[in-house]
């Protein structure tokens, strides 16, 4: 026998094939880095100018007018190209600039292309212009931690996901001190302009910085980023100015690709319900898009639950001449009942498996939970303000926090005017499972937002679902339908008469193809009892093996697999749509800068249409601001856009819900979105919600 020579590990690692397959650089990466997204028509020429479009109007908040006087009169700006600029325009456009850019908040696929678009446009206008990337988010501005971007760095990240080039952070520039330090940094770097790529809070920050730095002549621009898809801007007349933040499409497609695979797996081994929590701090846009992409059996949409009215309760109250306030808005208990109903109906059709999509922010729309969140936000903010310390550092353990709340409840008994935490609140809070109490009390993020991604929303809901399913099982309501043909074959094999047994065991023996065991039969004992009473077997006889086997097939075992889709999709490399969208947002930002705008957010209209119809614009941020409760007090912020239950996309999902639940004998109606592809014709073009809503 020939002796096999073992190669040394050094030799192995030096082997060219080993080197090739273990290299960090693979083909997909090479293709992504080399690809330059197409430019919108207006950017094909060397110069662009801005035209104010006064057709758009906004309902301006009084507070915004007072706080942001320098930018409140900003208008929507349409970007148009120019062939022959005059000398002074050309000089201004091509002047040597220092531009800073920062990522703020959670990563969203496409951010690097915003930088690439801005960098390409700025360097094209003047190769001596310098672009600085602030490191680790707004902290980089406050602490003057920045790097100068160059070709190598920008080229290394073209069309790639994440915010790895300069990283990100969630710090908010929300104090005079931080504002002053930021201004200092901008002056030290001699910045002409600063671009903030972020969500609603970061664009809010951009507006305040724009106002603050107006007299320094430093222009501040925002770029709408967030996978949550909740920056959607319309004017007062409802005309769409920004249909979707960037990163949404990629994240939704990434989630849908994995959840679509779960639909395939689930309908193959037919034994699991897959519970998929998907990101979206508040709004359910991502869950809605996932529903459209995958046709999962059950998708909860928070905004839909908030609108829920229990008609039977309303009618009962009307009959009694009273008002039942608890009839408005969904409760956790009722929600679990709705999910159970879907599970039980599918089981009856022989499908004790499926896929449920739960948006991470769903609890925000459950009235009873919302009340707790608001109350606890206020309590924590009040505590921090009065004690000038941090609630979470002072009360590190759950028991300490609960004790503090108990103290507040006692205070409410002594002082009628103290209503923020009553004895009733305390009692209700104490019946919540400890892990959920802990979840509701977790540290708020730096913007004072409740961090839904840290709460096991799915565990809360599914805990109730499991409990109720057990009850339904005991009551003989939750049963798996057994195919009649299978039943007959099994009994005939044992030479038994299927009809005489069937009429005793099943409630629908003569009417259906899927047989449901009678609700009175919940064990082998009760099965035998029924057969004996009807005289099909004798008292001293055993239940025939085939009958027992069929019965056991009808007994459901509710098995779940729990998944969280969030950070994975957020880190995905961008879809073609997001690559093109973000690169052109970068070009848009430069056009706004070169045309002396400030306090504007870059946007592209007509995203739902063919690329040739995309229209870059600047949206004034200040007129979009309104007052909202943050950290226990009212603050001017950009409004988050939640799912509109009157929108086409929601109405379509609502109308197809029953079909996708597929609680019938036929096949499931899953859709296979497949993976995100960078190249190839089959790549999905744009979010389905976007297309539907634009119809």
CB of 453 to ligand FBP, least distance (A): 4
For residues 270 to 289, the per-residue mask of contacts with ligand FBP, x marking binding by CB under 6 A and - elsewhere, is: ---------xxx--------
Cβ proximity to ligand FBP: between 134 and 670 the closer is: 134
Cβ proximity to ligand FBP: between 450 and 660 the closer is: 450
Cα angle value 530/534/536 (rounded, 5°): 95
CB of 381 to ligand FBP, least distance (A): 19
CB of 504 to ligand FBP, least distance (A): 54
Cβ proximity to ligand FBP: between 105 and 350 the closer is: 105
Let me know: does 360 contact 280? Beta carbons within 8 Å: yes
Contact with ligand FBP (CB under 6 A) among 118, 227, 376, 530: 227
- The token pair at 83 is 């062939």
Q: CA nearest 592: which of 603, 581, 582, 607? A: 603
Contact with ligand FBP (CB under 6 A) among 212, 228, 235, 456: 228
Let me know: does 352 contact 270? Beta carbons within 8 Å: yes
CB of 195 to ligand FBP, least distance (A): 16
- The token pair at 344 is 């039980």
For residues 86 to 125, the per-residue mask of contacts with ligand FBP, x marking binding by CB under 6 A and - elsewhere, is: -------------------xx-x-----------------
Catalytic residues: 228
Cβ proximity to ligand FBP: between 360 and 458 the closer is: 360
Cβ proximity to ligand FBP: between 35 and 453 the closer is: 453
Cβ proximity to ligand FBP: between 144 and 449 the closer is: 449
Let me know: does 596 contact 204? Beta carbons within 8 Å: no
Q: How far, in Å, CA of 422 to CA of 319, rounded?
A: 31
**Residues 516-575 contacting ligand FBP, CB under 6 A:** 570
Cβ proximity to ligand FBP: between 188 and 454 the closer is: 454
3-state secondary structure string, 454-490? HCCHHHHHHHHHHHHHHHHHHCCCCCCCEEHHHHHHH
Cα angle value 164/170/175 (rounded, 5°): 135
Q: Does 363 bind ligand FBP (CB under 6 A)?
A: no
Cβ proximity to ligand FBP: between 132 and 452 the closer is: 452
Cα angle value 565/171/157 (rounded, 5°): 60
CB of 599 to ligand FBP, least distance (A): 21
- Other Cβ atoms within 10 Å of 55 Cβ, number: 11
3-state secondary structure of 298: strand
Cα angle value 270/274/276 (rounded, 5°): 160
Q: Does 199 bind ligand FBP (CB under 6 A)?
A: yes
Taking CB atoms, the residue at the shortest distance from ligand FBP is 105
Q: Does 255 bind ligand FBP (CB under 6 A)?
A: no
Q: Is the dihedral of CA 450, 641, 116, 213 positive or negative?
A: negative
DSSP category for residue 158 = T
CB of 589 to ligand FBP, least distance (A): 18
CB of 281 to ligand FBP, least distance (A): 4
- The token pair at 492 is 């005939």
User: By rule CB under 6 A, what count of residues binds ligand FBP?
Assistant: 14
- Other Cβ atoms within 10 Å of 496 Cβ, number: 18
Residue whose entry in the numeric block shows the structure tokens 């208990």: 333
Cα 42 to its chain centre, rounded Å, is 32
| DSSP notation for 504-545 | HHBSSTTT-SEE-B-TT--SHHHHHHHHHHTTSS-TTSPPPH
**Residues 438-477 contacting ligand FBP, CB under 6 A:** 452-453
* Interacting span for ligand FBP (CB under 6 A) from 77-85, 222-230, 374-382, 533-541: 222-230
CB of 563 to ligand FBP, least distance (A): 15
List residues binding ligand FBP (CB under 6 A).
105-106, 108, 199, 226-228, 279-281, 360, 452-453, 570
């Amino acid at each position: 026998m020939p002796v096999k020579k073992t190669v040394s590990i050094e030799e192995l690692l030096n082997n060219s094939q080993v080197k090739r397959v273990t290299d960090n650089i693979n083909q997909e990466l090479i293709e992504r880095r080399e690809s330059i997204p197409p430019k919108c028509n207006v950017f094909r020429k060397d110069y662009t100018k801005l035209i104010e479009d006064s057709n758009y109007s906004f309902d301006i908040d009084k507070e915004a007018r007072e706080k942001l006087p320098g930018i409140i009169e900003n208008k929507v700006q349409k970007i148009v190209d120019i062939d022959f600029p005059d000398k002074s325009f050309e000089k201004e456009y091509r002047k040597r600039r220092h531009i800073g850019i920062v990522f703020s908040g959670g990563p969203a696929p496409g951010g690097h292309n915003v930088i690439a678009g801005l960098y390409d446009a700025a360097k094209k206008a003047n190769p001596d212009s310098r672009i600085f990337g602030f490191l680790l988010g707004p902290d980089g501005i406050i602490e003057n931690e920045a790097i100068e971007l160059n070709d190598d760095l920008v080229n290394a990240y073209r069309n790639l996901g994440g915010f790895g080039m300069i990283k990100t952070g969630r710090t908010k520039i929300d104090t005079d001190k931080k504002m002053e330090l930021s201004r200092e940094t901008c002056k030290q770097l001699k910045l002409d302009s600063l671009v903030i790529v972020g969500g609603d809070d970061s664009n809010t920050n951009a507006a305040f910085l724009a106002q603050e730095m107006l007299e320094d002549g430093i222009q501040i621009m925002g770029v709408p980023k967030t996978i949550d898809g909740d920056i959607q801007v319309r004017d007062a007349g409802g005309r769409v100015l920004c249909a979707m933040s960037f990163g949404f499409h990629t994240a939704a497609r990434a989630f849908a690709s994995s959840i679509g695979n779960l639909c395939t797996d689930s309908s193959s081994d037919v034994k699991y319900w897959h519970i998929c929590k998907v990101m979206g701090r508040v709004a359910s846009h991502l869950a809605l898009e996932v529903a459209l992409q995958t046709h999962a059996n059950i998708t909860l949409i928070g905004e839909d639950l908030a609108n829920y009215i229990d008609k039977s309760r309303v009618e009962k109250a009307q009959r009694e001449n009273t008002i039942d306030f608890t009839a408005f808005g969904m409760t956790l208990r009722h929600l679990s009942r709705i999910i159970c109903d879907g599970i039980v109906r599918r089981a009856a059709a022989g499908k004790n498996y499926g896929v449920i999509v739960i948006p991470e922010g769903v609890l925000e729309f459950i009235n009873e939970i919302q009340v707790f969140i608001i109350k606890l936000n206020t309590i924590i903010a009040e505590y921090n303000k009065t004690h000038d310390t941090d609630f979470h550092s002072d009360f590190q353990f759950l028991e300490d926090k609960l004790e503090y709340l108990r103290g507040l409840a006692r205070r409410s008994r002594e002082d009628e005017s103290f209503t923020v935490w009553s004895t009733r609140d305390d009692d209700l809070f104490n019946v919540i499972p400890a892990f959920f109490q802990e979840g509701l009390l977790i540290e708020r993020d730096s913007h004072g937002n409740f961090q839904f991604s840290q709460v096991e929303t799915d565990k809360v809901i599914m805990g109730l679902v499991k409990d109720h399913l057990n009850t339904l099982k005991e009551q003989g309501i939750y049963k798996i339908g057994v195919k009649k043909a299978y039943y007959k074959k099994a009994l005939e094999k044992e030479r038994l008469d299927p009809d005489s047994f069937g009429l005793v065991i099943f409630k629908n023996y003569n009417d259906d193809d899927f047989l449901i065991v009678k609700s009175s039969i919940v064990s082998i004992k009760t099965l035998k009892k029924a057969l004996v009473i009807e005289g099909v077997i004798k008292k001293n006889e055993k239940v025939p093996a085939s009958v027992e086997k069929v019965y056991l097939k009808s007994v459901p075992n509710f098995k779940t697999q729990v998944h969280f889709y969030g950070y994975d999709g957020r880190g995905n490399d961008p879809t073609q749509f997001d690559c093109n969208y973000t690169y052109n947002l970068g070009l848009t930002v430069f056009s706004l800068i070169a045309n002396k705008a400030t306090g504007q957010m870059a946007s592209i209209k007509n995203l739902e249409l063919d690329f040739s119809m995309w229209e870059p614009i600047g949206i004034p941020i200040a007129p979009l601001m309104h007052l909202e409760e943050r950290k226990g007090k009212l603050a001017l912020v950009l409004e988050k856009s939640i799912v509109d239950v009157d929108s086409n996309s929601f109405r379509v999902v609502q109308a197809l819900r029953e079909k996708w639940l597929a609680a019938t004998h036929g096949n499931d109606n899953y859709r296979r979105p497949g993976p995100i592809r960078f190249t190839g014709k089959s790549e999905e073009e744009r979010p389905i919600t976007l297309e539907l809503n634009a119809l």
